[in-house]
Amino acid sequence: MLDLTTKEVKERKALRVNPCKTCQPVGAMYAALGVSRCMPHSHGSQGCCSYHRTVLSRHFKEPAIAASSSFTEGASVFGGRSNINTAVKNIFDMYDPDIIAVHTTCLSETIGDDLGSYIMDMNIPDGKTVVHCNTPSYVGSHINGYFNMMMGFMNYLTKKSGTSNGTTAIFPGWVNPGDIRELKRIAKFMEVPSVFFPDQSGVMDAPMTGKYEYYPEGGTSIEEIKGLGDSNGLIALGEIISIEPAELLKKKWKVPFSLLPLPVGVDFTDKYIMALREQSKTEVPAELEDERGRLVDLMLDSHQYTYDKKAAIFGDPDTVIGLTSLCLEMGMVPKYVITGTPKEEFTRKVQALFDKYGVKDCTVKANADLFEFHQWIKNEPVDIMIGTTYGKQIARAEDIPFIRAGFPVLDRYGGTLLPIVGYSGGIQLVEKITNAILDRFDRDCADEDFEIVM
């Protein structure tokens, strides 16, 4: 399928081929699905909304509910005020959410719809809420859309009473529901009363009960979002995705924050636990110390097979930073590391990891695409690829073992339920990576080297 990809790499500034990202409204929709009884609303055409829902539904294998302003030619010329007024009334009448979270699209951004003024003039039922954020698809990526929607909720809802509510706010970043459950479990071990925002656990991994619910039990409540301004502190996970919401909470509501990398692997999980310890002033329980020891033991046991193996890693910036750190802890060489999100802070964070572990001749790039990524691999192959489903054609073309991680994973099942964060998530990743390398060895080795015990 990709046999015509050339080895010659040329600098491209105005063109992306096989981009390593999707657009802002996808992120805004996912963030909104992490709020209890919330209906995400796409202010644009039905086609845009359908695409965004499809990407989320295919990754999570769950319905991603959302409504649309259903732009036609008339709205495109005269504006979408009438469309969204009708849509909001119909949504409250038919689906009865507590809150509607509106995000823009290319079309509504291009014609300049002023959603703030539209919402101010709406006849919103008592006890109901409408919030919005701007998410032009032609700027940034789904990561930008995610944190823009977070800030939209906060700007509309968050308040400060002056009295602490005794909780620690935790921004988990863009992770799967299984990751959020693991982050919550660790916070509970550390005896930290916490509010996770957004919280897709229980929503995008709702259990099968035999009855479909528009709004499964789960998500951050409106009251919890309002109370973020009264938090004792904030732990913001994901140095790229969470920095702007964290700074907003500090600037407007004077909540101090700790900005941490996504807790993937030993070192980054240690940082998360130490931040929780700072909040609770308690000792780290033996259960977590044992989990850490098991992860380190597994890394030591498998080190002879992972040492000096070259990895190509791609996907969302914070996920990729975490995976790069884990690979370095395993003695691997992250030869190529890219994200499609245009955030140069990503390159500085990854380069700092290269410098810390003393690895040389590795390439990192933000705002990159998978075509160039493939060209690099053609020039100097790697031993394993780690990333989203969109790398599977490269892995097949170049005959490289492939570990799926991040968003989106469209062609496998169960990944959204299993964490990659925390020590237990690290154990699962190390197992996958090591066994993929051993599977390749078994496939390619001579008969006399085909051993029962490795």
pLDDT tens by residue, 58-93: 999 999 999 999 998 877 777 889 999 999 999 999
Q: Could you tell me how many residues make up the chain?
A: 454
Strands (E), 277-357: 310-314, 333-338
Radius of gyration of the CA atoms of the chain, in A: 23
* H-state helical runs in 358-391: 370-379
Residue 420: Cβ within 10 Å count? 26
pLDDT at 216 > cutoff 70: yes
Tokens of 436: 């993929």
Considering the domain architecture, whether residues 116 and 188 belong to the same structural domain is answered as no
Look at the alpha carbons of 344, 322, 411, 417 in this order and tell me if their dihedral is positive or negative: negative
Three-class DSSP category at 102: strand
Q: Is 407 exposed, middle or buried (0-12, 13-18, 19+ CB in 10 A)?
A: buried
Mean pLDDT of 222-229: 98
CA-angle at 332, arms to 331 and 336, nearest 5°: 150
Give residue 385's pLDDT: 98
Give residue 36's pLDDT: 98
Considering the domain architecture, whether residues 190 and 103 belong to the same structural domain is answered as no
Contact status, residue 205 vs residue 62, Cβ threshold 8 Å:
yes
Instruction: Report the percentage of the chain scoring pLDDT > 90.
Output: 92
pLDDT tens by residue, 378-408: 999 999 999 999 999 999 999 999 999 999 9
Q: Is residue 345 part of a domain?
A: yes
Considering the domain architecture, whether residues 69 and 88 belong to the same structural domain is answered as yes
Q: Is residue 7 part of a domain?
A: no
Q: In what order do the strands lie in the sheet with 363-365?
A: 363-365, 333-338, 310-314, 384-387, 402-404
Q: Is 10 exposed, middle or buried (0-12, 13-18, 19+ CB in 10 A)?
A: exposed
Range of the domain at 346: 286-448
- 165-189 CB burial, b ≥16 within 10 A, e <16: bebbbbbbbbbbbbbbbbbbebbeb
Q: Last residue of some domain: 157, 188, 216? A: 157
Q: Last residue of some domain: 228, 258, 280? A: 280
Mean pLDDT of 328-345: 97
Give residue 63's pLDDT: 94
Position 193 confidence tier, pLDDT thresholds 50, 70, 90: very high
Pick from 77-86, 114-123, 145-154, 365-374: least confident: 77-86
Give residue 4's pLDDT: 76
Instruction: Report the percentage of the chain scoring pLDDT > 70.
Output: 100
Position 14 confidence tier, pLDDT thresholds 50, 70, 90: confident
Q: Is residue 244 part of a domain?
A: yes
Q: Last residue of some domain: 254, 280, 306? A: 280
Considering the domain architecture, whether residues 290 and 433 belong to the same structural domain is answered as yes
C-alpha of 283 from chain center:
30
Considering the domain architecture, whether residues 354 and 422 belong to the same structural domain is answered as yes
Considering the domain architecture, whether residues 274 and 334 belong to the same structural domain is answered as no
Half-sphere exposure of residue 443, counting CA atoms within 13 Å on the CB side? 9
Residue 375: Cβ within 10 Å count? 16
pLDDT at 2 > cutoff 80: no
Tokens of 87: 């849509």
Domain count, the chain: 3
Mean pLDDT of 123-148: 96
Considering the domain architecture, whether residues 117 and 221 belong to the same structural domain is answered as no
Considering the domain architecture, whether residues 121 and 182 belong to the same structural domain is answered as no
pLDDT tens by residue, 348-362: 999 999 999 999 999
pLDDT tens by residue, 255-313: 999 999 999 999 999 999 999 999 999 999 999 999 999 999 999 999 999 999 999 99
Give residue 77's pLDDT: 79
Considering the domain architecture, whether residues 198 and 328 belong to the same structural domain is answered as no
Q: Is residue 453 part of a domain?
A: no
Q: Is residue 70 part of a domain?
A: yes
Considering the domain architecture, whether residues 290 and 421 belong to the same structural domain is answered as yes
Cα separations in angstroms, 11 against 18, 224, 377 = 15, 47, 16
Give residue 1's pLDDT: 56
Considering the domain architecture, whether residues 205 and 272 belong to the same structural domain is answered as yes
Rounded Cα gap, residues 355 and 317, in angstroms = 18
Give residue 454's pLDDT: 80
pLDDT at 338 > cutoff 90: yes
pLDDT at 447 > cutoff 60: yes
Rounded Cα gap, residues 266 and 295, in angstroms = 8
Rounded Cα gap, residues 390 and 410, in angstroms = 9
* Mean pLDDT computed over every residue of the chain: 95
Q: Which residue has the tokens 């789960």?
A: 218
Tokens of 188: 């509970």
Contact status, residue 265 vs residue 286, Cβ threshold 8 Å:
no
CATH of the domain at 326: 3.40.50.1980
Cα separations in angstroms, 176 against 14, 198, 223 = 32, 11, 23
Q: Is residue 401 part of a domain?
A: yes
Considering the domain architecture, whether residues 374 and 422 belong to the same structural domain is answered as yes
Which DSSP state fits 19? B
Q: Is residue 331 part of a domain?
A: yes
- DSSP-assigned beta bridge partners for residue 402: 385
Q: Is residue 271 part of a domain?
A: yes
